[in-house]
Amino acid sequence: MHAHAIDNLRYIRKTMERAGSFTAVPGIGGMLMGSTALAAAWIASHQVSGFAWMAVWLGEALLALGIGIAGAELKSRRAKLPLISGPARKFVAGFSPAMLAGAVLTAVLFRAGHPEFLPGVWMLLYGAAIVSGGWASVRVVPLMGACFMVAGTAALWWTGIPNDAFLAAGFGGLHIIFGTVIAVKYGG
Amino acid sequence: MAGKNTARKEREIGAAVGAATAPKLDRLVHERLRLGILSALSVNESLTFNELKKLLETTDGNLSVHARKLEEAGYLSCTKSFEGRVPRSDYKMTAAGRKALERYLDHMEALIQAMREK
Protein backbone atom coordinates (compact mmCIF):
# COMPACT_ATOMS: atom_id res chain seq x y z
CA MET A 1 0.00 0.00 0.00
CA HIS A 2 2.82 2.34 1.06
CA ALA A 3 4.89 1.47 -2.01
CA HIS A 4 1.83 1.85 -4.23
CA ALA A 5 1.11 5.33 -2.85
CA ILE A 6 4.72 6.41 -3.41
CA ASP A 7 4.64 4.92 -6.89
CA ASN A 8 1.45 6.83 -7.69
CA LEU A 9 2.92 10.11 -6.47
CA ARG A 10 6.05 9.47 -8.56
CA TYR A 11 3.85 8.81 -11.59
CA ILE A 12 1.90 12.04 -11.04
CA ARG A 13 5.12 14.01 -10.69
CA LYS A 14 6.69 12.39 -13.77
CA THR A 15 3.58 13.01 -15.87
CA MET A 16 3.41 16.63 -14.72
CA GLU A 17 7.09 17.12 -15.55
CA ARG A 18 6.72 15.55 -18.98
CA ALA A 19 3.54 17.49 -19.63
CA GLY A 20 5.45 20.55 -18.46
CA SER A 21 7.33 20.44 -21.75
CA PHE A 22 4.11 21.75 -23.21
CA THR A 23 4.44 24.87 -21.11
CA ALA A 24 8.17 25.31 -20.56
CA VAL A 25 8.73 27.72 -23.48
CA PRO A 26 7.33 31.12 -22.54
CA GLY A 27 5.08 32.58 -25.25
CA ILE A 28 4.69 36.00 -23.64
CA GLY A 29 8.45 36.05 -23.12
CA GLY A 30 8.87 35.30 -26.85
CA MET A 31 6.59 38.19 -27.77
CA LEU A 32 8.61 40.53 -25.55
CA MET A 33 11.88 39.25 -27.02
CA GLY A 34 10.47 39.95 -30.48
CA SER A 35 9.54 43.50 -29.50
CA THR A 36 12.98 44.27 -28.08
CA ALA A 37 14.58 42.74 -31.21
CA LEU A 38 12.56 45.12 -33.41
CA ALA A 39 13.77 48.04 -31.31
CA ALA A 40 17.35 46.71 -31.46
CA ALA A 41 17.15 46.39 -35.26
CA TRP A 42 16.04 50.00 -35.52
CA ILE A 43 18.82 51.22 -33.19
CA ALA A 44 21.47 49.03 -34.87
CA SER A 45 20.52 50.30 -38.34
CA HIS A 46 21.49 53.81 -37.22
CA GLN A 47 25.00 52.84 -36.06
CA VAL A 48 27.92 53.81 -38.23
CA SER A 49 30.66 51.65 -36.74
CA GLY A 50 30.74 47.87 -36.77
CA PHE A 51 31.59 47.76 -33.06
CA ALA A 52 28.57 49.86 -32.14
CA TRP A 53 26.33 47.66 -34.32
CA MET A 54 27.73 44.55 -32.63
CA ALA A 55 27.32 46.09 -29.17
CA VAL A 56 23.62 46.77 -29.85
CA TRP A 57 22.96 43.17 -30.89
CA LEU A 58 25.03 41.68 -28.05
CA GLY A 59 23.08 43.85 -25.62
CA GLU A 60 19.86 42.63 -27.22
CA ALA A 61 21.03 39.00 -26.90
CA LEU A 62 21.65 39.46 -23.17
CA LEU A 63 18.32 41.23 -22.70
CA ALA A 64 16.51 38.45 -24.61
CA LEU A 65 18.25 35.84 -22.46
CA GLY A 66 17.04 37.61 -19.31
CA ILE A 67 13.49 37.88 -20.68
CA GLY A 68 13.53 34.21 -21.65
CA ILE A 69 14.67 33.05 -18.19
CA ALA A 70 12.21 35.36 -16.40
CA GLY A 71 9.37 34.23 -18.69
CA ALA A 72 10.15 30.55 -18.08
CA GLU A 73 10.37 31.18 -14.32
CA LEU A 74 6.97 32.93 -14.24
CA LYS A 75 5.41 30.19 -16.32
CA SER A 76 6.86 27.44 -14.09
CA ARG A 77 5.59 29.26 -11.01
CA ARG A 78 2.08 29.47 -12.47
CA ALA A 79 2.20 25.73 -13.24
CA LYS A 80 3.54 25.10 -9.70
CA LEU A 81 6.59 23.31 -11.11
CA PRO A 82 10.24 24.03 -10.32
CA LEU A 83 12.08 25.93 -13.08
CA ILE A 84 14.87 23.35 -13.06
CA SER A 85 12.56 20.43 -13.81
CA GLY A 86 13.11 17.53 -16.22
CA PRO A 87 11.77 19.32 -19.35
CA ALA A 88 13.69 22.52 -18.59
CA ARG A 89 16.93 20.57 -18.13
CA LYS A 90 16.33 18.74 -21.40
CA PHE A 91 15.66 22.05 -23.17
CA VAL A 92 18.86 23.65 -21.86
CA ALA A 93 20.93 20.55 -22.72
CA GLY A 94 19.65 20.57 -26.30
CA PHE A 95 19.74 24.35 -26.66
CA SER A 96 23.25 25.11 -25.38
CA PRO A 97 25.65 23.39 -27.86
CA ALA A 98 24.40 25.27 -30.93
CA MET A 99 24.38 28.54 -28.97
CA LEU A 100 28.00 27.99 -27.90
CA ALA A 101 28.90 27.27 -31.52
CA GLY A 102 27.17 30.53 -32.45
CA ALA A 103 29.23 32.46 -29.91
CA VAL A 104 32.49 31.02 -31.29
CA LEU A 105 31.52 31.75 -34.91
CA THR A 106 30.48 35.29 -33.94
CA ALA A 107 33.92 36.01 -32.52
CA VAL A 108 35.71 34.41 -35.49
CA LEU A 109 33.64 36.10 -38.21
CA PHE A 110 33.73 39.51 -36.54
CA ARG A 111 37.49 39.29 -36.08
CA ALA A 112 37.91 38.20 -39.69
CA GLY A 113 35.95 41.23 -40.86
CA HIS A 114 32.86 39.42 -42.12
CA PRO A 115 29.95 40.80 -40.11
CA GLU A 116 27.67 40.37 -43.14
CA PHE A 117 27.48 36.65 -42.32
CA LEU A 118 26.54 37.16 -38.67
CA PRO A 119 22.71 37.52 -39.03
CA GLY A 120 22.56 34.29 -41.03
CA VAL A 121 24.80 32.41 -38.60
CA TRP A 122 22.89 33.71 -35.57
CA MET A 123 19.48 32.76 -36.91
CA LEU A 124 20.63 29.42 -38.31
CA LEU A 125 22.25 28.34 -35.04
CA TYR A 126 19.52 29.81 -32.83
CA GLY A 127 17.03 27.85 -34.93
CA ALA A 128 19.10 24.68 -34.60
CA ALA A 129 19.27 25.24 -30.82
CA ILE A 130 15.48 25.59 -30.58
CA VAL A 131 14.85 22.53 -32.77
CA SER A 132 17.14 20.36 -30.67
CA GLY A 133 16.11 21.84 -27.30
CA GLY A 134 12.41 21.79 -28.08
CA TRP A 135 12.31 18.42 -29.82
CA ALA A 136 10.26 16.83 -27.03
CA SER A 137 7.98 19.85 -26.75
CA VAL A 138 4.82 20.72 -28.67
CA ARG A 139 5.21 20.86 -32.44
CA VAL A 140 5.11 24.63 -32.57
CA VAL A 141 8.47 24.94 -30.74
CA PRO A 142 10.63 22.91 -33.18
CA LEU A 143 8.59 24.49 -36.01
CA MET A 144 9.68 27.92 -34.78
CA GLY A 145 13.29 26.65 -34.74
CA ALA A 146 12.93 25.38 -38.31
CA CYS A 147 11.62 28.78 -39.43
CA PHE A 148 14.66 30.46 -37.84
CA MET A 149 16.89 28.02 -39.72
CA VAL A 150 15.18 28.93 -43.01
CA ALA A 151 15.54 32.65 -42.22
CA GLY A 152 19.22 32.12 -41.35
CA THR A 153 19.86 30.25 -44.59
CA ALA A 154 18.14 33.02 -46.55
CA ALA A 155 20.26 35.65 -44.78
CA LEU A 156 23.45 33.75 -45.62
CA TRP A 157 22.34 33.33 -49.21
CA TRP A 158 21.22 36.91 -49.92
CA THR A 159 23.92 38.96 -48.20
CA GLY A 160 22.94 42.02 -50.28
CA ILE A 161 19.82 42.62 -48.17
CA PRO A 162 20.53 44.81 -45.08
CA ASN A 163 21.46 42.73 -42.03
CA ASP A 164 19.05 44.51 -39.71
CA ALA A 165 16.08 43.82 -41.98
CA PHE A 166 16.74 40.07 -41.73
CA LEU A 167 17.30 40.29 -37.97
CA ALA A 168 14.10 42.31 -37.50
CA ALA A 169 12.12 39.76 -39.51
CA GLY A 170 13.72 36.80 -37.71
CA PHE A 171 14.32 37.73 -34.09
CA GLY A 172 11.50 40.29 -34.18
CA GLY A 173 8.80 38.85 -36.45
CA LEU A 174 9.21 35.13 -35.81
CA HIS A 175 9.41 35.60 -32.02
CA ILE A 176 6.25 37.71 -32.00
CA ILE A 177 4.29 35.32 -34.26
CA PHE A 178 5.30 32.09 -32.50
CA GLY A 179 5.27 33.73 -29.07
CA THR A 180 1.64 34.71 -29.64
CA VAL A 181 0.73 31.17 -30.74
CA ILE A 182 2.45 29.63 -27.68
CA ALA A 183 0.93 32.20 -25.31
CA VAL A 184 -2.60 31.65 -26.63
CA LYS A 185 -2.48 27.88 -27.01
CA TYR A 186 -0.10 26.79 -24.27
CA GLY A 187 -0.94 28.91 -21.28
CA GLY A 188 1.25 32.02 -21.41
CA MET B 1 12.36 -14.84 9.82
CA ALA B 2 12.77 -11.11 10.33
CA GLY B 3 11.81 -10.56 6.69
CA LYS B 4 8.61 -12.60 7.12
CA ASN B 5 7.68 -10.65 10.24
CA THR B 6 8.29 -7.34 8.51
CA ALA B 7 6.20 -8.40 5.52
CA ARG B 8 3.36 -9.54 7.80
CA LYS B 9 3.54 -6.30 9.78
CA GLU B 10 3.42 -4.27 6.56
CA ARG B 11 0.39 -6.27 5.38
CA GLU B 12 -1.37 -5.65 8.68
CA ILE B 13 -0.58 -1.95 8.63
CA GLY B 14 -1.60 -1.76 4.97
CA ALA B 15 -4.91 -3.41 5.73
CA ALA B 16 -5.52 -1.07 8.67
CA VAL B 17 -4.66 2.04 6.71
CA GLY B 18 -6.55 0.77 3.71
CA ALA B 19 -9.65 0.09 5.79
CA ALA B 20 -9.42 3.54 7.29
CA THR B 21 -8.96 5.34 4.02
CA ALA B 22 -10.60 3.20 1.33
CA PRO B 23 -14.03 4.86 1.43
CA LYS B 24 -12.44 8.24 0.66
CA LEU B 25 -10.33 7.03 -2.26
CA ASP B 26 -11.65 8.29 -5.57
CA ARG B 27 -11.56 5.14 -7.70
CA LEU B 28 -12.17 7.20 -10.79
CA VAL B 29 -8.87 9.05 -10.28
CA HIS B 30 -7.02 6.00 -8.94
CA GLU B 31 -6.81 4.28 -12.36
CA ARG B 32 -3.34 4.86 -13.84
CA LEU B 33 -4.25 6.37 -17.21
CA ARG B 34 -6.99 8.59 -15.76
CA LEU B 35 -4.49 9.78 -13.15
CA GLY B 36 -2.10 10.58 -16.00
CA ILE B 37 -4.73 12.54 -17.92
CA LEU B 38 -5.58 14.65 -14.87
CA SER B 39 -1.90 15.19 -13.97
CA ALA B 40 -1.07 16.34 -17.50
CA LEU B 41 -4.05 18.68 -17.64
CA SER B 42 -3.26 20.11 -14.21
CA VAL B 43 -0.15 21.81 -15.65
CA ASN B 44 -1.71 22.81 -18.98
CA GLU B 45 -4.57 25.09 -19.88
CA SER B 46 -5.74 22.52 -22.44
CA LEU B 47 -4.36 19.56 -24.39
CA THR B 48 -5.57 17.95 -27.57
CA PHE B 49 -6.40 14.26 -27.84
CA ASN B 50 -3.21 13.66 -29.85
CA GLU B 51 -1.02 15.55 -27.37
CA LEU B 52 -2.41 13.46 -24.51
CA LYS B 53 -1.94 10.27 -26.52
CA LYS B 54 1.70 11.12 -27.27
CA LEU B 55 2.39 12.19 -23.71
CA LEU B 56 0.81 9.18 -22.04
CA GLU B 57 2.01 6.73 -24.70
CA THR B 58 -1.34 5.05 -25.07
CA THR B 59 -3.75 4.00 -27.82
CA ASP B 60 -6.67 5.95 -29.28
CA GLY B 61 -9.22 3.49 -27.86
CA ASN B 62 -7.76 3.42 -24.37
CA LEU B 63 -7.44 7.17 -24.08
CA SER B 64 -10.90 7.72 -25.53
CA VAL B 65 -12.56 5.36 -22.99
CA HIS B 66 -10.80 6.86 -19.96
CA ALA B 67 -11.19 10.48 -21.06
CA ARG B 68 -14.93 9.87 -21.54
CA LYS B 69 -15.22 8.48 -17.99
CA LEU B 70 -13.56 11.60 -16.60
CA GLU B 71 -15.76 13.77 -18.77
CA GLU B 72 -18.90 11.99 -17.55
CA ALA B 73 -17.77 12.57 -13.96
CA GLY B 74 -17.44 16.28 -14.72
CA TYR B 75 -13.66 16.26 -14.19
CA LEU B 76 -12.87 17.23 -17.78
CA SER B 77 -14.51 19.29 -20.47
CA CYS B 78 -14.04 18.44 -24.11
CA THR B 79 -14.46 20.78 -27.08
CA LYS B 80 -14.72 19.19 -30.50
CA SER B 81 -13.85 21.09 -33.65
CA PHE B 82 -12.31 20.60 -37.08
CA GLU B 83 -8.83 21.57 -38.23
CA GLY B 84 -9.45 21.59 -41.96
CA ARG B 85 -11.13 18.23 -42.40
CA VAL B 86 -9.46 16.59 -39.42
CA PRO B 87 -11.55 16.36 -36.22
CA ARG B 88 -9.88 17.79 -33.12
CA SER B 89 -10.73 17.31 -29.43
CA ASP B 90 -9.44 19.77 -26.85
CA TYR B 91 -9.55 18.69 -23.22
CA LYS B 92 -9.59 21.01 -20.22
CA MET B 93 -9.66 20.20 -16.54
CA THR B 94 -12.71 21.49 -14.68
CA ALA B 95 -12.70 22.90 -11.15
CA ALA B 96 -14.21 19.59 -9.96
CA GLY B 97 -11.38 17.70 -11.68
CA ARG B 98 -8.73 19.88 -10.04
CA LYS B 99 -10.34 19.33 -6.63
CA ALA B 100 -10.51 15.58 -7.24
CA LEU B 101 -6.80 15.45 -8.10
CA GLU B 102 -5.90 17.56 -5.07
CA ARG B 103 -8.00 15.27 -2.84
CA TYR B 104 -6.27 12.26 -4.35
CA LEU B 105 -2.81 13.77 -3.75
CA ASP B 106 -3.75 14.56 -0.14
CA HIS B 107 -4.99 11.01 0.22
CA MET B 108 -1.74 9.48 -1.06
CA GLU B 109 0.35 11.79 1.12
CA ALA B 110 -1.75 10.93 4.19
CA LEU B 111 -1.31 7.27 3.42
CA ILE B 112 2.49 7.60 3.25
CA GLN B 113 2.49 9.70 6.41
CA ALA B 114 0.38 7.11 8.25
CA MET B 115 2.76 4.37 7.25
CA ARG B 116 5.76 6.36 8.45
CA GLU B 117 4.17 6.97 11.83
CA LYS B 118 3.33 3.30 12.42
Q: What's the pLDDT score for residue B118?
A: 64
Does the beta-carbon distance from A9 to B105 stay under 8 Å?
A: yes
Q: Which of A1, A12, A186 sits opposite B105 (nearest CB)?
A: A12
Rounded Cα distance between B91 and B80, Å, is 9
Q: Has residue B57 been placed in a domain?
A: yes
Helix (H) or strand (E) holding B104: helix B95-117
Rounded Cα distance between A108 and A115, Å, is 10
Chain B within 8 Å of A80 (Cβ-Cβ)? yes
Mark out the alpha helices in B22-94 (DSSP H runs): 27-30, 32-42, 49-56, 60-72
Best B34, B43, B50 residue to mutate vs chain A (most A CBs within 10 Å): B43
B109 interaction partners in chain A (CB closer than 8 Å): 9
Strand order in the sheet with B76-83: B47-48, B86-93, B76-83
Domain ranges of chain A: 2-185
Residue B57: give its domain's CATH number: 1.10.10.10
Mean pLDDT of chain A: 86
Helix (H) or strand (E) holding B76: strand B76-83
Q: Has residue B6 been placed in a domain?
A: no
pLDDT higher than 50, residue B13: no
Query: Residue B3 — very low, low, confident or very high, per pLDDT cuts 50/70/90?
Result: very low
Q: Has residue B1 been placed in a domain?
A: no
Query: Residue B6 — very low, low, confident or very high, per pLDDT cuts 50/70/90?
Result: very low
Q: What is the pLDDT of residues A132-188, one digit of tens each?
A: 988 767 778 899 999 999 999 999 998 777 889 999 999 999 999 999 988 887 767
Best B10, B31, B44 residue to mutate vs chain A (most A CBs within 10 Å): B44
Rounded Cα distance between B92 and A24, Å, is 18
Domain limits at B52? 26-117
Entry pTM: 0.60
pLDDT higher than 90, residue A38: yes
Asked if A95 and A25 count as a contact pair (C-beta separation under 8 A), the reply is no
Q: Has residue B108 been placed in a domain?
A: yes
Nearest to A99 by CA among A73, A77, A131, A74: A131
Chain A within 8 Å of B74 (Cβ-Cβ)? no
Q: Has residue B103 been placed in a domain?
A: yes
Number of domains in chain B: 1
Buried b (16+ CB within 10 A) or exposed e, A33-59: bbebbbebbebbeeeeeeeebbebbee
Q: Has residue B42 been placed in a domain?
A: yes
Q: What is the pLDDT of residues B84-96, one digit of tens each?
A: 888 999 999 999 9
| For residues A47-67, average pLDDT | 93
**Strand pairing report for B47-48 and B76-83:** unpaired
Rounded Cα distance between A147 and A136, Å, is 17
